[in-house]
Amino acid sequence: MTLHSIVRSLVCLAALGLAAPALCQDGDTRARELYEEGTRLYDLGRYEESVAAFQLAYGLSERPQMLYNMASAMERLARWEEALDALQQYRRDAEPSAEELVSLTVRIEQLQIRIKARDEQQAIDAPPPPPDPIAQAPAPRRGLPPGAWALYGGGVAGLGAGVLFSSRASSARNEWQSACVDGDVLLCSSDVQDAWKRDNGNSLAADLSFLVGVGSSIGGVFVTLKNSQSADLQVGFAPQLWAGGGAVSFRGQF
């Protein structure tokens, strides 16, 4: 007997005259009405209302039978944890017979199996957690291909040589032009012939050097692009020389 039942009994015994049996009888009558109502609702399949009625009846009477009835309705609602708690409390409070204890234990074990199987299935059906973000390694930086280095080196050398020959040509030009008379016709003595030749030779060398320097530099750019962007890029260039000048032709195909 629980403390609540003892107190309730003492209240009933302490009541005076006809009030005591009336007080106790009223509680029992209401608990029985709720029990019958819960049973009726259970038979109609209204399990939520049935559970509520049995819980009220248990609160008034604290009879373990109400726990058993609650567990049956809760099982119908798949409220298995609550049904398991109610049955375990019923087993403690009702002091069932040996035969009833066996069937009760089997029922409790079946509920435990159901709960475990449901939890395992929910774990299987649950979506996997999102993967941790993986930091992508930066793409390796490509150095210049050997051919590009050679072409850039040739470009620098050609442009440098062009500047040097241009300077020499300019110096020689100033030398022979200063010795000539500028009128309707430029008159020069034979003494300037050597300076004039040096001017022409250095000018031609400067033109060729600039052509080679520019051509090599542009070729280096094409080779760099071919190595870093597309294997289908085809590059070619060809210097062309003729009397009094020259040119460099380039060909690229993507």
C-beta neighbour count of 48 within 10 angstroms? 12
What gap in Å lies between CA 40 and CA 43, rounded to an integer? 5
- In terms of average pLDDT, the best of 21-25, 189-193, 212-216 is 212-216
pLDDT digits (tens, 9 = 90+) for 58-109: 999 999 999 999 999 999 999 999 999 999 999 999 988 989 999 999 999 9
pLDDT at 13 over 70: no
Give yes or no for residue 20 having a pLDDT over 50. Answer: no
One domain, residues 84 and 183: no
Residues 6+ apart with CB under 8 A from 56: 34
Instruction: Give how many domains the chain has, as a whole number.
Output: 2
DSSP for 4-59, please give it: HHHHHHHHHHHS-TTHHHHHHHHHHHHHHHHHHHHHHHHHTT-HHHHHHHHHHHHH
Q: What percent of the chain has pLDDT over 70?
A: 65
Asked if residue 127 belongs to a domain, the reply is no
198-245 confidence digits (pLDDT tens)? 778 878 777 777 777 777 777 777 667 766 654 455 555 555 555 455
Domain holding 77, by residue range, is 20-121
Contacts of 174 (CB under 8 A, 6+ apart): none
Residue 118 has pLDDT above 90, yes or no: yes
Question: What torsion do the CA atoms of 59, 63, 66, 67 make, to the nearest 10 degrees?
Answer: 90
Pair 211, 247: CB distance under 8 Å: yes
In a domain, 130, yes or no: no
Residue 15 in any domain: the answer is: no
Residues 109 and 163 in one domain: no
> Helices 64-76 and 47-61, interaxial angle, to 10°?
170
pLDDT band at 150 (very low <50, low <70, confident <90, very high): confident
> What average pLDDT is seen over the chain?
75
Predicted pLDDT at 137: 62
Residue 173 lies in a domain: yes
